Amino acid sequence: MIRHASMNFVGRFSLFALVIVCTLCARLSANGNNASRYQNGVRNSPDRPLNPKQLSSLLENLRQKSGFREMHFDPQGFLRLGDRSKIDGGSAAARELLIAAVDRAKAIDLENHNRTSQIAFARLAMPVSFTSRESGAQVEVYPVQIDFSDFAHLRGDKKAIEAFDIGFVVLHELGHAALGLRDALVNGQEPGECEEFINQIRRELGVPERQSYAAHTFTRRNLHSQPPSRQAELLFINSLVGGNKNKSFSLNWDAGQVGAVRPGEYKPQTIPQRQQASLAP
């Protein structure tokens, strides 16, 4: 396990933190008359769109992870995979997930929630129902809310930062929305069903695997008169056979700056799938 000597932390607690709440339970009503609103698939939200730089960064990341060379966002903002036989490396599990997200009968919006204290990295929010006043068409939209600014707060081993980038976090939310995977936890110390799938992608890409769903939190006392800060930590382990097998990599962030780390909201696995809150993106 790698620790950082520069961290002077005191009062370390064995708390497991709620990093994210991914809720699928509620249903809201809304009206809308834009025809493309009623198409299924993954799209850049028309209401809270990712800016061109964010969209391009996410697209390039997902291209590398999936190997889909022709993947792009079309003029209406929908994610298109292009010719699916044109593959350049990447992970088969990532391709399976993206195909499910793009092809299945669900509408998934990628929303921009930069610098939102309520969202740490990303979360799948409550689905929103739209009904067209003109045609009566209906659609249930699953919003993937993304706070890009949080990724700038990640510190730690380069390999761990690589294993928790925007692509992996968005794929996690797509795992919920498209495949119905859960963050099912027994004791909060395992990755959970959804992260197990994302770990398969990490394995296929040679990236270390996340060891738990919940982040460990502790207090770091700063020098001078500054108040102590709350830090969150996730561990990743290299499962690949070779010299670095079982090597541990640490990922840290300031929970106060990223937000939404709330110890004590752990929900046991007895909650039905569509009413379950989960603990991380």
Contact residues: Zn ion, CB under 5 A: 22, 183, 278
Asked if 277 and 20 count as a contact pair (C-beta separation under 8 A), the reply is no
Q: How many residues appear in the chain? A: 281
Distance CA 262, CA 118 (A): 11
Give the pair of three-digit tokens for residue 81.
Answer: 């995979």
The smaller minimum CB distance to Zn ion, of residues 171 and 237, is found at: 171
Measured from the CB atom, the residue of 100 and 240 that comes closer to Zn ion is 100
Conformational region of residue 219, where left means phi above 0, alpha means psi within -120 to 50, and beta covers everything else: beta
Tell me whether residue 139 or residue 184 sits nearer to Zn ion (CB atom): 184
Least Å distance between CB 137 and Zn ion? 30
* 17: Cα separation from own chain's centroid: 16
Q: Please give the C-alpha separations between residue 137 and each of 37, 42, 132, 203, in angstroms, as whole numbers.
A: 10, 18, 5, 42
Nearer to Zn ion, 157 or 183 (CB): 183
